[in-house]
Amino acid sequence: MSAKLWVLVVLVLLGTMTVLATPPASAAEYTDVAGLQPWSGETNYMSLAGYLRWMTFKEQGIWLSMPEAKRIVAEQIASME
The pLDDT assigned to 8 comes to: 79
Any domain includes 57: yes
25 burial via Cβ count (<10 Å: 0-12, 13-18, 19+): middle
> Is residue 20 assigned to a domain?
no
Can you give the residue range of the structural domain that contains 45?
25-80
pLDDT per position in the chain (81 positions), as tens? Answer: 688 787 877 778 777 666 555 555 555 689 999 999 999 999 999 999 999 999 999 999 999 999 999 999 999 999 988
Domain contains 6: no
Please give, one letter per residue, the 3-state secondary structure of 27-62.
Answer: HHHCCCCCCCCCCCHHHCCCCHHHHHHHHHHHHHCC
- Residue 67 pLDDT: 97
pLDDT at site 2: 82
